[in-house]
Amino acid sequence: MNISDEISKLGITPAELDKLAAEIVLLPNVKLRGLMAIPAPNNELSQQMSIFCSMENLFNRLKKQYPHIDTLSMGMTADLDIAIAFGSTLVRIGNSYFWFPIMNQFENQGNQ
């Protein structure tokens, strides 16, 4: 989902969700599992919460139509707590495992 209406990102708008979901569920070898979004970075907590709330509402609406839907993927290292609070079932925490350990290694080498 392009939930933040970013020009630099692909993805459907909320207005396009129902039509696309209806087309996907007709495909014999494709299973619609849920929604994914990477909202634009935002330092304003209230704006982050509003975006995650919108995604949660879209997910719940979709789940009512298609009960097998089980995945809401949103949230990364910096905002995973908020994403989980708004129903995310899949978060991406790559920085915690890949970037931060590398940076710590370089910082520790500089102190020797």
Query: Quick one: pLDDT at residue 79?
Result: 87
pLDDT number for residue 97 = 62
Yes or no: say if 76 and 92 are a contact pair by the CB < 8 Å rule: yes
**What are the average pLDDT values for consecutive 10-residue runs of the chain, which has 112 residues?**
90 96 96 93 88 97 97 90 95 69 57 55
- 17-24 vs 45-65: helix axis angle to the nearest 10? 40
Domain 14-110 fold: TIM Barrel (3.20.20)
Is the whole-model pTM more than 0.95? no
What pLDDT score does 77 carry? 83
Q: Which pLDDT does position 76 carry in this prediction?
A: 87
pLDDT score, position 99: 56
User: CA separation (Å) from 37 to 6, 28, 68?
Assistant: 11, 25, 19
Check residue 80 and give its pLDDT: 86
